[in-house]
């Protein structure tokens, strides 16, 4: 930028804003490679053939339940397997079955217990009014992804548009009735297992060796098969984070470290969320997926997530680099919810 002579202040500010546009780190968005600058969405696929694909009759099992499901049952978008009905209250219709043809069952991605996965979100224990405001934000175009390839953020937008206010409230009350409990184990390391991607989720390759972690957070299931094949909602995740990142993040989160504002000011003591009169409702941050939290910080900084409440985060992220945000989310994930 140093060699560019700005013709006017206006032109200069446009050039600078282009220069400032950062490429979203692919690890947080479920990709191996950064989004190409000339990326275009693929043309719509031709309609699927009318005959249903053959289903594998094999029935899967999991420990602690006598239920058995086929792969088709597990991946049924409008009636996904519920392995442990005793782990959660009775699911409302929209959570268990969605609303065909557009709105998939919330349980399909976030699980019946709301634990979710790194490529979507943990939504158990969110304050009801915050949850409702997020669905409205998806609906109004105030929540999009900085990585235009990320398919499931677009799906969330379609669901929010397809739901009534009543359905949104019902889902918010259901998931809000369950507490957020420990789900992520944070491990500082220099090397990580080799991984492959399955629909935006990193999976360790069996006997695949390892590779340098570098400046990334890689989140993988504690048991790849049980999560990938059976979609067990009782198996949490390991977040591999760079050595020293938890301590570095702690300084930002607890004091601001001269670059930001102590998060507890708004997110409450122990970062468990709170409502402040005249400010709004802040969600809990403790023990949540670092990839998810990182995407939110990056998306708020890039402006893809914005709006009256999200803009309260602007002064928080303004001076933070991608590395600072990585450290912050490593620390947040390591906190006990
Ligand atoms: C296809 C998978 C999928 C399904 C099905 C799905 N979601 Fe989501 N949801 C996502 C993804 C992905 C995100 C995070 C988007 C991002 O990171 O950009 C998300 C985020 C959310 C959030 C925001 C959480 C936060 O902390 O701000 C809420 C609330 C939510 N979903 C509610 C729902 C409800 C209610 C349903 C059922 C109608 C549902 N979702 C169904 C994929 C899904
Ligand atoms: C001035 C108040 C304020 C401060 C200080 C603040 N936040 Fe927030 N934060 C908010 C509000 C309000 C929201 C909810 C935005 C919305 O409703 O869209 C939020 C949302 C978030 C989210 C998105 C959560 C989700 O579930 O999607 C993250 C991540 C976050 N904040 C991280 C932080 C971190 C890290 C810090 C400290 C470095 C911090 N915040 C400090 C007000 C604040």
Q: What is the pLDDT of residue 19?
A: 44
Rounded Cα distance between 171 and 121, Å, is: 14
Q: What is the pLDDT of residue 3?
A: 42
Rounded Cα distance between 269 and 22, Å, is: 32
Q: To which residue do tokens 């032109």 refer?
A: 11
If one residue of 93, 133, 147, 152 were mutated to test the ligand 1 pocket, choosing by the most ligand atoms within 8 A of its CB, it would be 152
* Cα 313 to ligand 2 centre (Å): 5
Q: Is 155 in the pocket of ligand 1 (CB under 6 A)?
A: yes
> Please, which contacts does 93-102 make with residues 24 or more away whose CB atoms are closer than 8 Å?
94/163, 94/167, 94/170, 94/171, 95/170, 95/171, 95/174, 95/175, 98/159, 99/162, 99/163, 99/167, 102/158, 102/159, 102/162
Closest CA to 294 of 215, 232, 223: 215
Q: Is 133 in the pocket of ligand 2 (CB under 6 A)?
A: yes
Nearest CA to ligand 2 atom 22: 296
Please state whether 190 falls in left (phi above 0), alpha (psi between -120 and 50) or beta: alpha
Q: Is 283 in the pocket of ligand 2 (CB under 6 A)?
A: yes
User: What tens-digit pLDDT sequence spans the chain (337 residues)?
Assistant: 344 444 455 454 444 444 457 899 999 999 999 999 899 988 888 877 666 666 799 999 999 999 999 999 999 999 999 999 999 999 999 999 999 999 999 999 999 999 999 999 999 999 999 999 999 999 999 999 999 999 999 999 999 999 999 999 999 999 999 999 999 999 999 999 999 999 999 999 999 999 999 999 999 999 999 999 999 999 999 999 999 999 999 999 999 999 999 999 999 999 999 999 999 999 999 999 999 999 999 999 999 999 999 999 999 999 999 999 999 999 999 999 9
182-155-273 Cα angle (round to 5): 35
Nearest CA to ligand 2 atom 17: 309
């Amino acid at each position: 930028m140093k060699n560019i002579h700005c013709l006017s202040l206006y032109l200069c500010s446009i050039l600078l804003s282009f220069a400032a546009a950062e490429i979203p780190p692919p690890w947080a968005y479920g990709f191996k490679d950064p989004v190409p600058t000339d990326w275009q969405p693929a043309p719509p696929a031709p309609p699927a053939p009318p005959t249903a694909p053959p289903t594998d009759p094999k029935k899967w099992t999991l420990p602690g339940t006598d239920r058995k499901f086929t792969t088709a049952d597990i991946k049924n978008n409008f009636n996904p397997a519920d392995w442990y009905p005793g782990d959660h209250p009775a699911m409302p219709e929209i959570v268990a079955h969605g609303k065909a043809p557009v709105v998939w069952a919330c349980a399909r991605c976030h699980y019946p217990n709301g634990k979710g996965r790194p490529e979507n979100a943990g939504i158990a224990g969110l304050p009801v009014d915050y949850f409702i405001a997020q669905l409205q934000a998806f609906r109004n175009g105030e929540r999009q992804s900085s990585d235009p390839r990320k398919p499931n953020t677009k799906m969330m937008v379609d669901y929010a548009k397809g739901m009534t206010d009543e359905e949104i409230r019902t889902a918010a009350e259901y998931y809000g009735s369950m507490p957020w409990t420990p789900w992520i184990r944070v491990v500082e390391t220099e090397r990580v297992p080799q991984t492959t991607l399955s629909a935006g989720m990193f999976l360790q390759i069996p006997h695949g060796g390892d590779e340098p972690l570098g400046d990334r957070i890689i989140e993988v299931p504690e048991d790849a098969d049980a999560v990938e094949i059976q979609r067990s909602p009782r198996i949490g995740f390991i977040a591999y984070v760079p050595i020293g990142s938890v301590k570095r993040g702690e300084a930002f989160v607890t004091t601001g470290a001269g670059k930001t504002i102590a998060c507890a000011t708004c997110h409450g003591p122990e970062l468990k969320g709170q409502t402040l009169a005249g400010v709004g409702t802040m969600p809990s941050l403790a023990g949540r997926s670092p990839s998810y939290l990182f995407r939110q910080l990056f998306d708020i900084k890039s402006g893809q997530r914005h709006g009256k409440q999200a803009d309260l985060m602007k002064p928080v992220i303004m001076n933070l680099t991608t590395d600072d945000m990585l450290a912050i989310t490593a620390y947040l994930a390591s906190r006990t919810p």
